[in-house]
Structure 1
Amino acid sequence: MRYRLRHTTSYSYSWPVDMSYHLLHLTLQSGPRQTVTDCAVHTAPEGRTGEIGRDHFGNLVSHLSIEEPHTRFDVELTAEVDVQPFTAPPEAETPPWESIRDLLNGDGFPKAFEPCEFALGSPMADADDAIAAYAAQSLPPGRPILAAARELTKRIHDDFRYDPTATEVFTPVAEAMKQRAGVCQDFAHLQIAMLRSHGLAARYVSGYIRTMQPGDENGLRGADASHAWVSVWCGDAHGWIDLDPTNDLVVSEDHVTLAVGRDYNDISPVRGVVLGGGPHRVGVAVELLPLDAPPKQAPAQAQGQSQGQTQTQSPSIAPPSTPKA
């Protein structure tokens, strides 16, 4: 499936920002399941941009400094990407979850060195007793890792209420567990914490999910905004398999990957340091449409947390000509 992506973020400040510095995880890269044919990031004010580099997890990252007063900061990502379908292996053919745990542990000398980092706790996906107990129900002895992870995905989807008003960006995962409510970010953090609580490796994946069009029979929760899901390590033979607890599915053609990390804090799309500005409002708008679909009307000037963005012309931040997979 070939997509056209547009992701806009707008910050409106109460009074002028004197200067600011931003770190942007907004550059798509090609990988095993997607090929990026075009990608650009535009900002207003344009500021000064540094070369695109890679962070600890291999994501493309860019830096932006703005040294002029401004009361509004706009960022727009536009891209075209070809996403390949993915079919997960039969669950029964994946190893028992305990064998994966043992590879990641290795009595302090893990045999699976690279994935083992994602078996450790992180600030936004740290498990407590309630989270570990919930996960244990899906992890009886000898169960294949993918079967266990898929059941956990379904249980989160069925047991937790999708409610954008229930949590905020930095709501602790334990609070989302207590409320049994949240959004895609919370559900991803919950499943990651649950898997890690039993010694398994799970990554946080940020990206986008296909925008619903008239006539679509089954709506996908989390469309029209940044999306998040989980990547579970299923051993050397099967590698990382992505699961979406918000929609109870194995990630395939409906998702575009932006970045991977331990949790949201590693790969938030826009973060930075601001001098001045005072209280501010943030608005985000996303559309991920098949290339043959007509573009939606540009988002209107948004209000409050649903604020959209009016993009002005500015130079772009382009990815390297041959990004690594």
Structure 2
Amino acid sequence: MNSMPRSVTYDIVHETKYTYSEPVAVCLNQLRMRPQTRPPSVVCNQCNVTIEPAPAKVDTHPDYFGNVVDSFAIESHHESLMVKVTSQVQVSAVNPFDSPSIPTVAEVVHAIRTGQTEADLFAKEYVFASPRIPLAAHFAEYARPIVNDASSILDAVLQLTKHIHNDFQYDSTATDVTTTTQSAFELKAGVCQDFSHVQIACLRSLGLPARYVSGYLRTLPPPGKPRLIGNDESHAWISVYAGEALGWIDFDPTNACQIGLDHIPVCVGRDYDDISPMRGIVLGGGQTTLAVKVDVAPVELPTEVGPPA
């Protein structure tokens, strides 16, 4: 019997190209596209950023949330901008449900309110409203019946994850990047950003710290079909604080699951505004055309061979 792999190594290419109808004189940009190392499940082995035209200088630094940011300026006329980020990331399987002691929702909420440990105090900032995610009684009321029936914090979040997946329709035409969390909640439709914002609003409204995660999702072709290069996706999901011992555990409401070997996290923040992959300003440019390609390819690593007996 073949056992499931305990880890997968991926080569990831994320290419973003802006084409302008008129020359751009100056652009200032920030990139948040470098995958993080998040022990024990994620290790970023290498990451390279290529920018064309090449800026005079790239300043690489961590932001407040620990994400790696590349800031750059191009001060010469250009009619296109291409950013290519290539990474190699190893993702290992971790099952927090195997823990012998998993706290209840009430225990986590109490720990956050009383600030019992340094980890609790750090997590507490993720229990408040953020620019894209409000707190409201109706979010708590939506989630409370599901959470109250759960035996633990992990069971509660997993059941809420599945409930949102079943209750909401995945519809890429229903919302856009500017859609509010309240609008998505009323529509009961949207994409991964909307599903994640809604679930975070529910958890925070119950007093549970939750944060937004950006990353990649490996997509598998239908049986007998080749994998399409550049056809993988940027994705988003949520991370909930499950107490000091377990820390932050990630769930994917779009796919009704705890994240696994197919998920590669990149950045974390309070909501999408904290981790948008590329943001900036340009002087000039006219009309802009954007093209994005993402490729997530498992790496076939050589098998280690021991010395002869």
* Same-fold status (TM-score > 0.5): yes
Larger Rg computed on CA atoms: 2
1:21 match:
28
C-alpha contact (below 8 Å) 1:3/1:82 kept by paired residues: yes
> Measured at CA, do residues 254 and 111 of structure 1 come closer, stay the same or move farther in structure 2, by a change above 3 Å?
closer
- Equivalence map 1:293-308=2 (5 Å): none
Question: Could you tell me whether the CA contact under 8 Å between 2:128 and 2:135 is conserved in 1?
Answer: no
Aligned equivalents of 2:147, 2:217: Cα separation in 1: 29
Letter of the 1:127 partner, please give it.
Answer: L
Q: Among residues 161, 165, 176, which one is paired with 2:184 in the alignment?
A: 176
**What is the aligned partner in structure 1 of residue 172 from structure 2?**
164
Q: TM-score, normalised by structure 2?
A: 0.87
Describe the SS at the equivalent of 1:286.
strand
Per-residue CA deviation, residues 249-283 of structure 1 (Å, 9 max, x unaligned), is 11121111111111111111100121122332322
Amino acid at match of 1:115: A
1:14 counterpart SS class = strand
**Residue in structure 2 matching 1:136, options 144, 149, 166:** 144
Post-superposition shift, 1:56? 0.5
**Counterparts of 1:1-325 in structure 2 under 5 Å?**
1-32=8-39, 33-90=41-98, 93-106=101-114, 112-140=120-148, 143-215=151-223, 224-292=232-300
- d(CA) in 2 for partners of 1:142 and 1:179? 27
What letter corresponds to residue 107 of structure 2 in structure 1? S
Shift of 1:117: 0.8
Residues 43, 74 of structure 1: 8 Å contact kept: yes
Count of residues paired in the alignment: 288
Query: Does the CA-based 8 Å contact 1:11-1:281 persist in structure 2?
Result: yes
Q: Deviations over 1:105-132 (max 9, x none)?
A: 2299998110001111111122334322
**C-alpha separation in 2, matches of 1:141 and 1:30:** 35
Contact 1:104 1:111 in 2 (8 A): no
User: What corresponds to 1:318 in structure 2?
Assistant: none
Unaligned runs of 5+ in 2: 1-7, 226-230, 302-309
Q: Percent of aligned positions with the same letter in both sequences?
A: 40
Instruction: Using the TM superposition, give the Cα deviation of residue 58 of structure 1 relative to its aligned residue in structure 2, in angstroms.
Output: 0.9
Q: Cα–Cα, structure 1 residues 19 and 154, in superposed 2: closer, same or farther, change >3 Å?
A: same
Alpha-carbon separation, structure 1, partners of 2:188 and 2:100: 30
Change (3 A) 1:103 1:38: same
* Structure 1 alignment gaps of length 5 or more: 218-222, 294-325
Root-mean-square deviation (CA, aligned residues, Å) is 2.4
Q: CA deviation at 1:172?
A: 0.2
How big is the shift at 1:93?
Answer: 4.1
